[in-house]
A and B are shown apart, each in its own frame.
Chain A
Amino acid sequence: MGVPLKEKIKKRKKRLLPEKGFIRRSLESEEWRRIERIYKEATPVVLVTVLMEIIAGLELLRVSDYYVLLPGLLLIIPGLMEARGNVVTSLAQRLGSSAHLGLINWDLGINDEVKVNWTATIILSSLLSFVLSLLAYLTAVILKMPHMSFWGFLSIALLMTLIVGTTLSSLTVLVVLLAHRLGLDPDNVTIPIVATLGDIFAVGSLYFIIRIVLFMDHFIKII
């Protein structure tokens, strides 16, 4: 006589369904803990940055009224914002790796690893400011658009690097060191925080930068 049907079904069920305690074991696994940690650490940060980004976006619409004060400003602002974001997220990634390798931490303070990365970021920002100013100026000349002088574009770009770039790079160092000290993974939290802070600073500083350039123009012809 063959195996009873009941037994057959039981065996098949055992094969198809996971063993008893599978869910509990899965939830205790290293992979689940990893997923849980990413979710727990990154989600609150990303949600707060979403709120800040939406508010910054609305503010940017308001600040855009000032764009007309400096002809050609719209040619350089998107590029500057993009470049600043790219430079600072690279810094955050490098410092995140350095923290994991034990090369930087709160107790070591501002050591060579931090100094080298910070300085390289400022140099890269200045280099990009120059390239973007040249591109904006040439675009305006070729397309015969109303524009300020090359020095006007360069002043705005360098002022943004000076004000936003240096503050943001320093804040990136602080966020990485602080996250590491608080037991958080810098890789999970630093990038969303600094990318959003960058947008907020950039939007907030635009008004002042426009004012500074207009003020400077009284003494040296740059517009």
Chain B
Amino acid sequence: MKARFTIKQIIKQSAPVLIGVTLFSVITGRNLENSAELVTHHVPVLLVALPAFINIAGDLADVFCSRLSSELYRGNLDSNFRPLRLFLADLIGVLLVGITSFIFVAIFANIITDIIFGKIVSYLYLILIMVTAGVTATFVMMLVGAFLSRWAYLKGLDPDSIIAPITTTGGDMVGTTLLLFLASWILI
């Protein structure tokens, strides 16, 4: 059976996005790392939680976009994401996974921090901050991903090759920025 795309097509579509997004993330990520160091110095639980937290936001936006592109290719959704009830069901399903996961990260990271650093913050505040920052970042990146998927699909490009780097990196950045902002506002 012949492959959907050739190696050349995949590279041609992916390379510009991958190089652009990676360079952007390396350059802007450095500033974010400096801010993160400042906040984690005061709130060590964020040092423990941050790697898992930033991954969830990006991963869940990717899961949503991956489902979206599969449904576009299968013809279950049209380019305007109709029927909208399927689009919304996916959106709600992924956000519910996000809420559960962010609560879990907050609790588990606080327990680990207690064991290692002997310093914890209020569970309620931490859960509130993580869920707010995480769900907002995931939701924003899901919408960005949906918009870009539609654009790529209508242009005849493969959304799978283009969207993942943008949603992963965007989820990392929006999530980390929101988390650091809320943490420095509420916890310090």
A interface residues (Cβ-Cβ under 8 A, vs B):
30-32, 34-39, 42-43, 46-47, 49-51, 53-54, 56-58, 60-61, 78-79, 82-83, 85-87, 89-90, 92-94, 96-98, 100-101, 103, 108, 111-113, 115-117, 119-120, 123-124, 127-128, 131-132, 135, 185, 187-188, 190-192, 195-196, 199
Contact = CB atoms under 8 A, between A and B. Distances in A.
B184 interface: no
Interface string B19-41: 10111011001000100000000
Contacts of A188: 63, 67
5 contacts: A39-B97, A82-B22, A87-B165, A187-B70, A192-B60
B118 interface: no
A49 B4 contact: no
Contact of A128 (B3, B4, B19, B86): B19
Contacts, number: 218
A132 B73 contact: no
A195 B10 contact: no
Main secondary structure, interface of A, reads helix
Given A108-B1, A119-B7, A196-B55, A93 B26 contact: no
B14 A90 contact: yes
Given A39-B96, A116-B6, A191-B62, A96 B48 contact: no
B2 A79 contact: no
User: Which 5 pairs between the two chains have the least Cβ-Cβ distance?
Assistant: A38-B93, A57-B51, A53-B52, A86-B165, A120-B10
A34 B76 CA distance: 13
A94 B161 contact: yes
A187 to B, nearest CB: 4
Nearest to B71: A100
* Centre residue among B29, B50, B56, B109 by max chain A CB count within 10 A: B56
Contact of B49 (A47, A54, A117): A54
Given A34-B90, A111-B1, A97 B51 contact: no
A112 B93 CA distance: 33
Contacts of A47: 100-101, 104
Interface residues of B, number: 68
Contacts of A58: 48, 112, 116
Interface on chain B toward A: helix, strand, loop, or mixed SS? Answer: helix
A85 B105 CA distance: 20
A54 B92 contact: no
Contacts of B155: none
Given A112-B3, A113-B4, A86 B18 contact: yes
B18 A101 contact: no
B46 to A, nearest CB: 11
Interface of B: 1-7, 10-11, 14-15, 18-19, 21-23, 25-26, 29, 33, 47-52, 55-56, 58-60, 62-63, 65-67, 69-70, 73-74, 85-86, 88-90, 92-94, 96-97, 100-101, 104-105, 108-109, 112, 116, 158-161, 163-165, 168-169, 172
A57 B52 contact: yes
Contacts of B49: 54
Contacts of A32: 89
Interface centre among A58, A97, A98, A199 (most CB of B within 10 A): A97
A192 B60 CA distance: 8
A97 B59 contact: no
B11 A98 contact: no
A54 B109 contact: yes
B56 A50 contact: yes
Given A35-B96, A82-B172, 11 more contacts: A31-B86, A31-B88, A32-B89, A78-B26, A79-B25, A82-B29, A83-B22, A90-B161, A124-B18, A187-B70, A195-B59
Contacts of B89: 30-32, 34-35
